[in-house]
Chain A
Amino acid sequence: MNFETESFRLKVGLAEMLKGGVIMDVVNAEQAVIAEKAGAAAVMALERVPADIRKEGGVARMSQIKIIRDIMSAVSIPVMAKVRIGHFTEARILEVLGVDYIDESEVLTPADEEHHVDKHDFKVPFVCGARNLGEALRRIAEGAAMIRTKGEAGSGNIVEAVRHIRTIVKEMKQLTVLGKEELVHEAKNLQAPLELVQYVAQHGKLPVPNFSAGGIATPADAALVMQLGAEAVFVGSGIFKSSDPEARAKAIVKAATYYRDPVKLLEASEELGEAMPGLEISKLPEGELLQTRGW
């Protein structure tokens, strides 16, 4: 796979610009303005935050176009939006609309249980979720220009995002010490293209930026996943489901910048109210897990 095409370099280029930043879920223009004022590097437009999708159930689809348009005209930072896994027509609509990034997301109800979108075929860049290295590399092979952990969206529980980033980082480290013939075997185990496995073995990292999402609710959560190797964070329900969205948004932005500085993290964590309510993952029925969508 060629990472040097102009189109792919531009897609990855925008992801590079988002590093060290916070991408915030917003459901309307007012929330988008609050996010931008708090220092969000981008916003993700969606109809309902994951916590509400989880609570209300039903089929979760791409947002109403009017909401996305309102958000795009309300802020000057990049605007992302979600499509259902495999729903390439929703993606075409968002591409024509001009959103800056598309998240092919397990948070929405999958449209295709076997195929993800062929993302090489689009000019607009895509981000996809992953729980492990094999999944990340399959998404990159399909053309994703940014990977994020899936975590468990809308749970307010960081444990799954930690599991996913630790797994991806560990699996990458393991590849760096293997011989050429062992990489062929690993490619089979990971169910990923050999050339991407070879890339990771050589560089010790993904060929695209590696962000974290799914369960981040506090400044400390953001700093934790960044110390574990995430290069930026997505915060879904964590901001607008808390008692103090504006202050919390600012605090998480600060934590993403000063993630290695405990004194700054203390400052960021002070004077915050209640975080969003959290869910224990082991108490969730398997059918309600969002992370198992996609493969």
Chain B
Amino acid sequence: MQPQVGVLALQGDFEAHARALARAGAKAREVRTKADLEAIDALIIPGGESTTMLKLLAAEDLLEPLRAFGQEKPIFGTCAGAILLASEVTHPRQDSLALMDLTIERNGYGRQIDSRIAHIDLQGRPAEAVFIRAPVIRRAGPQTNVLATYNGDPVLVEQGRHLAATFHPELTGDAEIHRYFLSKLESALD
């Protein structure tokens, strides 16, 4: 059976991720309930408001099932998704899934007026990084592997099966990072 990739569809730009997955050759399933989570092999947590997602996750008793999911299966978080994956969140402090050894500061560049499109180096290849009210990774633990930086800060980080981006690869025409995440799913299934 074809591996199933889900996108957490509580709030945020989950449709943009579904389009990016389509460009990378995968079909996305929207995930809103425990039953949805049980039917997938990998999950993307999209951009959006991390506080809104946290409230909905708590209200639907999805926090523990998601933590358990992350013990076995790959998760890719962008922006708000990266905030949810981090072990420590600041500005202000808030709960998270704590699946990656990261300290992340919310709205680290400032407000919308400070949002920007930057050109970063992605493993030797130029890539566009769309930062929108983006967080900044202030500390990446020893188990993490930094794949890209901007202004000296890590912006694309992996830890084992998980992947986190503080920018929005789903908002560019490029599907390289989604393809990379799908390759992690394939190695997780091997």
Contacts and interface: CB of A to CB of B under 8 A. Distances in A.
Given A16-B13, A124-B113, A257 B32 contact: yes
Q: How large is the interface on A (under 10, 10 to 19, 20 to 34, 35 or more residues)?
A: 35 or more
Contacts of B130: 9-10, 13
Contact of A78 (B56, B117, B133): B133
A94 to B, nearest CB: 10
B101 interface: no
A16 B78 CA distance: 13
Interface in A242-273: 250, 253-254, 256-258, 261
Interface in B1-54: 9-16, 32, 47-49, 51-52
A17 interface: yes
A76 B80 CA distance: 12
A20 B115 contact: no
Interface residues of B, number: 35
A95 B113 CA distance: 8
A76 B48 contact: no
Interface string B106-142: 1100111101110000000000001011000000000
Contact of A254 (B56, B107, B111, B112): B56
B91 to A, nearest CB: 7
Nearest to A12: B171
A14 interface: yes
B54 to A, nearest CB: 8
B117 A20 contact: no
Contact of A20 (B48, B110, B112, B113): B48
Interface string A37-55: 1111110000000000000
Nearest to B114: A98
SS of B interface (majority): loop
A6 interface: yes
A9 B113 contact: no
B133 A254 contact: no
A39 B32 CA distance: 16
Contact of A13 (B49, B59, B107, B171): B171
B184 interface: no
Given A38-B55, A39-B56, A253-B55, A20 B14 contact: yes
B111 A100 contact: yes
B133 A100 contact: yes
A151 interface: no
A186 interface: no
A124 B133 CA distance: 12
Interface string B85-101: 00000011000000000
A68 B91 CA distance: 19
Q: Which 10 A-B pairs have the closest CB atoms?
A: A39-B55, A100-B112, A16-B13, A20-B11, A6-B117, A13-B132, A41-B49, A39-B52, A21-B11, A10-B115
Given A39-B55, A99-B112, A100-B133, 13 more contacts: A10-B112, A10-B117, A13-B168, A13-B171, A16-B13, A17-B49, A17-B133, A41-B48, A100-B113, A125-B112, A253-B55, A254-B56, A257-B9
Interface of B: 9-16, 32, 47-49, 51-52, 55-56, 59, 79-80, 91-92, 106-107, 110-113, 115-117, 130, 132-133, 168, 171
8 contacts: A9-B171, A16-B13, A20-B12, A39-B55, A42-B49, A78-B49, A257-B11, A257-B56
